[in-house]
Structure 1
Amino acid sequence: MAPTFKILSAAAIITLAAACAKHDNHQSNFQKRQVLTPGGRDEKDWAYPESYDWGSINSNYSLCQMGTQQAPIPLALDQGLSQRHRPDFVGFPSNVTGNFYNWGYGPAYTIAHEDGRFNTLPSMTFDNKTVYLRGWHIHAPADHTVGGVRSRAELHYVMVDSAGHEAAVLALRLDPGQTPSPFFSELPKPLLGFNETDQIMNQTLNPRLPLEAVDFFSEFWTYQGSLTSPPCTEGIRWFLARTILFISHEQMQALLLVSQFSARAEQQVWLHQINA
């Protein structure tokens, strides 16, 4: 939906992090106007094509170089699929409100919530732990390969704990197919480009649609990993759906048009405990 007007005051500017979308540009549920807001993004000192050497750029990124559970890693069908850590999506509603933006590499969305109240967000459980959907963003091409094959893009649902710390990521590979994706049909048109810093606020969508398309992660790989951008924080439970989420050729073209290369170099498997 087209925005109604622009907020031009400095107080309205919301700064977006240039790292893998941090989804901290939320807006209170009590603000209901649909507006387009100047966003702005911090300057970054790293880039995806040089991801092998992030640890040499900044001492704060040392984990990117020496971590034992860095993501992404290559996966394969002959590794089998997980029989443990199965996610349960009973706390996922079919309607949320939030802000669309481009995180500098592709489309992204943050769900509206009150400051500090993450337990009001859509929730899933695994291993008797509850985590909350703070937002999603897209990488192009996909971060993960399966059997050496890389999809054209990858959708990441970023899950946080009750304190707002990243705790898990639901990853869905995206490839072109014959039928439009209902989820991608809900995204604003045209999509915001990678060089645009505006946000489209108070937009609703159904976060269950991608989950339905992959049978709610009935088959998946899982491992202990990290964020895929500096500072490469570890302790993140990764879930990668075996089923690919197919979108139409036109939807894929529109997605790639507003994206920049954002696939981190695959990391060597170490202490990742794949499917364990």
Structure 2
Amino acid sequence: MRSIFRSIDYQEFVANSVMQASFNWGKLSPDYRLCQTGTQQSPIALSLGNGLSLNHVPKFNYNGSVAGNFANWGYGPAFTVAHNGDWTSHPSFTYDNETLYLKGWHIHAPADHSVGGDRSKAEMHFVHVDAEGHEGAVLAFRLDPGNFNNTFFDQLPPMIGFDEMQTQEPVDLDLSLALESVLHFNEFWTYQGSLTSPPCHEGIRWFVARQIMFTGVEQMQAILGASTYSARAEQEVWQHRINE
């Protein structure tokens, strides 16, 4: 996972295009130390051998259209929910009696997480924060091309490319259409992990849908055309507590 709403330092990091050197992030800055030394770093490889989670089942409060800005985060398409200073007014989900609020989403290509050794063409991350705005959980949607257009991506304007990175296009999205595409996470893996880009903060609860979110061929071509490589190298499983 990454946040598209970070500091100038992070924007400089993006501009330097060091995503592909993720094995060495911890040496780039003292602030990125966890990238090298953390015990719950993301992403990790998943498989049906891990089983599927029966715990931490998410319950969603995603109703109606949500206003925000569509942009390119420097590696691909992204959306920021319009913020009025009150995170609790955002779409939310609850697990284990904890409620977290959507900050926005962004796409990595290829996918961060592999499942059974297969890495999807892209992965969309719905980043959620607590009431104070601290990142706490990510819903991960693996994206692959299918035979029909996806109604969620049908809502988007034309993809914003790298030459238009300063562009932010206001748009209203029905985010529940994404949840419908993966059956509202009725089957999922979950684990305690981290951001998948510097500063690699840990304590992030990941939910990775088992169902693939299929797009149309042209939709996937548009996503990939607006994206560049942004998958972090998979991390060794250590203290991640998969499905626990």
Instruction: Pick the structure with more helix per residue.
Output: 2
Report what 1:247 is aligned to: 215
How does the TM-score come out when normalised to structure 1?
A: 0.84
How does the TM-score come out when normalised to structure 2?
A: 0.95
> Are residue 183 (structure 1) and residue 152 (structure 2) matched?
yes
Residue of structure 2 aligned with 1:75, choices 37, 41, 46: 46
- Could you tell me whether the CA contact under 8 Å between 1:133 and 1:157 is conserved in 2? yes
CA displacement 1:75-96 (0-9 Å, x = unmatched): 001110000000000x211210
Residue of structure 1 aligned with 2:230, choices 262, 265, 270: 262
Alignment size in residue pairs: 240
Going from structure 1 to structure 2, the CA distance change for 1:121 and 1:196 (only over 3 Å counts) comes to same
Moved over 6 A (4+): none
Report what 1:8 is aligned to: none
Residue of structure 2 aligned with 1:84, choices 28, 43, 55: 55
Where structure 2 has 5 or more consecutive residues not aligned to the other structure, the ranges are none
Report what 2:75 is aligned to: 105
SS at match of 1:43: helix
**Alpha-carbon offset, residue 46 of structure 1:** 6.0
Amino acid at match of 2:12: E
SS at match of 2:99: strand
* Alignment root-mean-square deviation, CA: 1.5
- Could you tell me whether the CA contact under 8 Å between 1:21 and 1:108 is conserved in 2? no
**Alpha-carbon offset, residue 43 of structure 1:** 1.6
**Larger Rg belongs to:** 1
CA displacement 1:194-249 (0-9 Å, x = unmatched): 34223334310110001001110000000000000000000000000000000011
CA displacement 1:32-52 (0-9 Å, x = unmatched): xxxxxxxxx832156121000
Where structure 1 has 5 or more consecutive residues not aligned to the other structure, the ranges are 1-18, 26-40
Identity over aligned pairs, percent? 55
**Alpha-carbon offset, residue 270 of structure 1:** 0.2
Amino acid at match of 1:149: D
Comparing 94-103 and 45-54, the one that deviates more: 45-54
- Could you tell me whether the CA contact under 8 Å between 1:159 and 1:166 is conserved in 2? yes
Amino acid at match of 1:272: H
> Are residue 146 (structure 1) and residue 115 (structure 2) matched?
yes
**What CA distance in whole angstroms lies between the structure 1 residues aligned with 2:6 and 2:172?**
18
SS at match of 2:107: strand
**What CA distance in whole angstroms lies between the structure 2 residues aligned with 1:83 and 1:57?**
39
- Could you tell me whether the CA contact under 8 Å between 1:46 and 1:57 is conserved in 2? no
